[in-house]
Structure 1
Amino acid sequence: MQNYKLLGLALALTTLFWSCDTEDENAYTVPDTYNFENVSYDGQLQRLQMLLEMKNYLGSANTPGTVLTADRLKAMYANDTDNANWTLEYDASKQLKSKTFEQEQAVFEAMMEAIADNSTSTVPAAEGQAGVSVSTDGTKQYLLNEKGVELAQLIEKGLMGACFYYQSLTVYFGDDRMNVDNEDVVPGEGTAMEHHWDEAFGYYGVPVDFPLNKDGIAFWGVYSDRRDPILNCNQDMMDAFIKGRAGISNDDLKARDEAISEIRQTWETVTGATAISYLNTAVESFDDMAIRAHALSEAIAFTYAIQFSPEKRMTNAEVTAVLEDIAGSSDFTQMDLYNTTPQRLEAAKLKLADALGLMESKDSF
C-alpha cells in the first residue's frame, strides 16, 4: 500500500530513550514532540484525505452549472472505489461512513442527495429556491438550498464532528479501547492501548512536531491553529497527547486519564470558540446573504459537533437550543437562515460562551 501523506503530514518516528531517576525507578522522560516507537495511524490519514477529496468535490458546485451526483458522494462516503472516482487509492477497509456516529449516517446521506439536487438549479439562490449565492463584493459564491443553508459545510464540518471528533474523544478514548492489552508489542504499532491512542491523535490532523511545524495541518488542526492566538490550544493539545502516550508506554494510567480529560475539554473549547467566531462573522455581515449563510452553516456544524464528546460541558438539549437560536430548528432539513435575526445569533453566542467559559473572549474570536 502506498505511503499516504496528507498535504505533507508526516509520521516522523524516532526512538524515545527512557531515563531512570536514582530516587524514583518509575520516572520516565516525556518527549517534546509526538515521537515514540511503533506508531501507526495510517487509517486516520486516509480518512482525512478522503474527506479532503469530498470537500473539493462538494465545493465544485459553487460554480453555477456544476452538477454533483448523489451516487458519487455516497460512494466517497462508503469508499465504494468503483464509483467514488478517487484521485488516490485507499484501503478497501477504510471509510468515513462506518466511523460516523451510527445514528447520523443516514442524515449525511440524505444531505448528499439534497445537495446533488440543489446543484441542478439554474437560477440564483433566493428564499424558496436553491442556487448559488454571490457575496455583495462579488468575490465569494456558495451553493445554498432553498432555506439558505450551505449543505457542503454541514457535510464537511459535520463529518469533522460526527466522525473525527467522535472517534477520537468517545471511541478511542473510551473504555473499550483504553482498557486493553498494554504489554504485547506489535512491531510498527505498539501495544493495543498505544495503537488506539495513536489513532485518536491521527484525527487531530497535525504533524508530530506541531505547533513548531504547521506544514500539512488539516481539518481540526487548522481550526485549532486559528483559535490558538486567544486560547493557546495548540500547545495544550499537543502536551496532553504526548503526556498520555508517554503515560501509556510507562504504565502510568493516571497520566493517561488526566490527558484524556484535558484533550476533551480543550478540543471542545476549540469547537465552541470556532462556532462563536462564525456567529460573529454572520452578525457583522448580516446583510450579505452569501457571507451570512456560509458563516452560519459552519457555526451550525461546529455547534453540532459538541454533542459527540462524553465529557461535554453542554447537554444535548443545550446544543439543540443553540441550533434553534441560529436556524429555528436542530433538524438540518428544517433549518432556515433567511429568517434568522442578529438577536437570535447573539443569544446563541451567549449560550455557547457561558457554557464553555468563553464569556471574556466571545467578542474577540
Structure 2
Amino acid sequence: MSLIKMLMSKPYHIRRFAILIVAGIALLVTSCKKDEVESLKPSLAIPLVYDSTGFSYNSEPLKPLIQQYTNLIQEAEKGRQTGTYVSEETLNAAFTQGNFSLQSATTPYYTSQLRAQNNGFFAELSKASGGNFYPFDRSWEGGVYRGYLFDEYGLEMGQMIEKGMYGATLYNYAVSLIHGTFTTATADQILFLYGSNPKFFNSDNSKFYSNPDKLMAAYAAQRDDATGTGLYSQIRLAFITLQAALKGGEDYNEYRDEALAAIKLNWEKTNAATVIHILQEATALLNATDQDDQKRAESLHLISEAIGFLHGWRTIDITNKTITDAQIDDILVVLKAPYNRSSAVYRFVTNSAEEAPKLKEAIGKIQAVYGFTNDEVESFRHNYVAEQGR
C-alpha cells in the first residue's frame, strides 16, 4: 500500500498531523538547500580605498562633455549682467556641437525643453537677457533682478539649464554606460560623471584640495556629516565595492549589481536631499521679517534651483530611479512650475504669506518618496563642508 493510500485510510486528525510533518520536512530541505547556495556565494574582499590606476586614462574621453557643459553654463550666466544679451543660437550651439555633444547625452524630453522654439529654456533665457525684472510689475519678457536673470514668471532659466542637466544629462549618461561592456573602466567613468575621484575627499573646498568634489559629488559632500554613514560615505563604499566586484569577474556579479544599485539610489537621494536643503533655505528667506528685494531675488533663485534639480529627472527610465514622473509632476505643480504650462514662481515673493507654506508641502512630498526620517530632513539644512571647515 502506498503512503498516500495508507494516510487516506486514517482518521482526519491523523492525516492532518502527517501532512504537517511532511510539509515541515520539505521546508527544512528547502532551507538547507538555500543555505547551501548562500555558502557557495564567493566572499568578496572589499579594499579600504579605490584603485586609481586607470582613472585618469578612462575618464579622458568624458572631459569634452564636461567642458561643453561648462561652456554652456558660462554662456547662460552672461545674461545675469544688466544689459548683456545672450543669443539663443549661441546656447544651442554649445548644446549641440562637438564630437561628443551634450545633446547626445541628454534625455530626449529635456532636450525638447531646452531647445523648443519660442518657449524653450534657451529661448526664454535669451528673451529675458538685456532686460530688467521686477516681480510686482512683470512687464516685458523678464530680465535681471538683483544679479539673477528671470523670465517674466520669476523662473530662472539658467538654473533650469544648469541644475536640470545634472539629472537629464550627467546622471542619464552615467546610467547608460552600464548597458554596454561593464568593466572597471566603466566604473571610473561613472565616478567621473558623479563628480568625484578615487581619493574621495568628501569636500568641494578648492582651498584644501586641487581636485575637490564637483557636480553631484559636491552636494553629496555638503549633505554628509563625515561620521561615515552619510550619503557621500555610502556612495564611496559602493564605488569601492563595485570596482572590487568587477575585478573579481563574473562570480561576483551579485556584488556588482548590489553596488551599482546603491550608487544609483544614493546619487538620486543626494539630488532629493539637496532639493530639500534649497527649499529650507528659501523658506527661511521668505519668512524673514526684514524682507527686501535682495531676499526676494535670492528666494526666486533658490526655488528655481530646486525646480531644476527635480525637473531634470523627468523621463529618466524608472529602472534607474525611485521617483516616478507622476510624483515629479505633482511636486512641480506645488512649486508653481508645471512641466507643461507657464510657471507662476513669482507668486512666492508677491504672495509670500499664502505661498511660502507650499515649500514645506513640497519637502513633505519628497520626504515621503524617499522615506527620509524627520532627523534626516533636519540634517539636510546643513552644509557640513562649510560648517566643519573640511
Which amino acid in 1 is paired with 2:221?
D
2:344 is equivalent to residue 336 of structure 1: yes
State the match for 1:348 in structure 2.
362
Distance of aligned partners of 1:280 and 1:122 in 2 relative to their CA distance in 1, 3 Å threshold? closer
State the match for 2:183 in structure 1.
193
After superposition, give the CA deviation of every residue in 1:178-221 in whole Å (9 maximum; x if it has no partner): xx3xxxxxxxxxxx533333222221111220126753422112
Alignment of 1:169-318 (within 5 A): 169=175, 171-173=176-178, 176-177=179-180, 180=181, 193-211=183-201, 215-229=211-225, 232-251=230-249, 252-286=252-286, 287=291, 288-307=295-314, 308=316, 310-318=319-327
**Which segment is superposed worse, 355-364 or 59-68?**
355-364
After superposition, give the CA deviation of every residue in 1:13-54 in whole Å (9 maximum; x if it has no partner): xxxxxxxxxxx9976563502424475022323222222222
After superposition, give the CA deviation of every residue in 1:101-138 in whole Å (9 maximum; x if it has no partner): 1222121122112101110315656553301112xxxx
After superposition, give the CA deviation of every residue in 1:221-252 in whole Å (9 maximum; x if it has no partner): 22111111287222211221121122112112
Q: Classify the secondary structure of the residue corresponding to 2:101.
A: coil
Alignment of 1:1-365 (within 5 A): 30=47, 32-37=49-54, 39-79=57-97, 92-109=98-115, 110-122=120-132, 124=134, 126-129=136-139, 130-134=142-146, 141-169=147-175, 171-173=176-178, 176-177=179-180, 180=181, 193-211=183-201, 215-229=211-225, 232-251=230-249, 252-286=252-286, 287=291, 288-307=295-314, 308=316, 310-331=319-340, 334-340=342-348, 341-360=355-374, 361-364=376-379, 365=381
After superposition, give the CA deviation of every residue in 1:294-345 in whole Å (9 maximum; x if it has no partner): 00011111222344362433221111111110115233x5121112411211
Contact 1:211 1:235 in 2 (8 A): no
Q: State how far apart, in whole Å, the 2-side matches of 1:34 and 1:337 are.
A: 46
Distance of aligned partners of 1:212 and 1:148 in 2 relative to their CA distance in 1, 3 Å threshold? closer
Residue 349 of structure 1, CA deviation: 0.6
Q: State how far apart, in whole Å, the 2-side matches of 1:25 and 1:167 are.
A: 31
Backbone CA RMSD of aligned residues: 2.4
State the match for 1:6 in structure 2.
none
Q: Classify the secondary structure of the residue corresponding to 1:362.
A: helix
Radius of gyration: which is bigger? 2
Contact 1:48 1:218 in 2 (8 A): no
Q: State how far apart, in whole Å, the 2-side matches of 1:151 and 1:127 are.
A: 19
Which amino acid in 2 is paired with 1:131?
G
Which protein is richer in helix relative to its size?
2
Distance of aligned partners of 1:34 and 1:363 in 2 relative to their CA distance in 1, 3 Å threshold? same
Which amino acid in 2 is paired with 1:242?
I
Distance of aligned partners of 1:216 and 1:45 in 2 relative to their CA distance in 1, 3 Å threshold? farther
Distance of aligned partners of 1:75 and 1:317 in 2 relative to their CA distance in 1, 3 Å threshold? same
Which ranges in structure 1 are unaligned for 5 or more consecutive residues?
Answer: 1-23, 80-91, 135-140, 181-191
Distance of aligned partners of 1:30 and 1:301 in 2 relative to their CA distance in 1, 3 Å threshold? same
After superposition, give the CA deviation of every residue in 1:337-365 in whole Å (9 maximum; x if it has no partner): 11241121111110001211223132342
Q: State how far apart, in whole Å, the 2-side matches of 1:311 and 1:363 are.
A: 27
Contact 1:205 1:218 in 2 (8 A): yes
Which amino acid in 1 is paired with 2:346?
Y
Which ranges in structure 2 are unaligned for 5 or more consecutive residues?
Answer: 1-40, 204-208, 349-354, 382-390
Q: State how far apart, in whole Å, the 1-side matches of 2:133 and 2:329 are.
A: 33
TM-score after normalising by structure 2: 0.73
State the match for 2:3 in structure 1.
none
Q: Classify the secondary structure of the residue corresponding to 1:132.
A: strand
Q: State how far apart, in whole Å, the 2-side matches of 1:359 and 1:127 are.
A: 41
State the match for 1:187 in structure 2.
none
Q: State how far apart, in whole Å, the 1-side matches of 2:372 and 2:44 are.
A: 37
Which amino acid in 2 is paired with 1:33?
Y
Q: Classify the secondary structure of the residue corresponding to 2:224.
A: helix
Aligned length, in residue pairs: 307
Contact 1:271 1:305 in 2 (8 A): no
Distance of aligned partners of 1:282 and 1:29 in 2 relative to their CA distance in 1, 3 Å threshold? closer
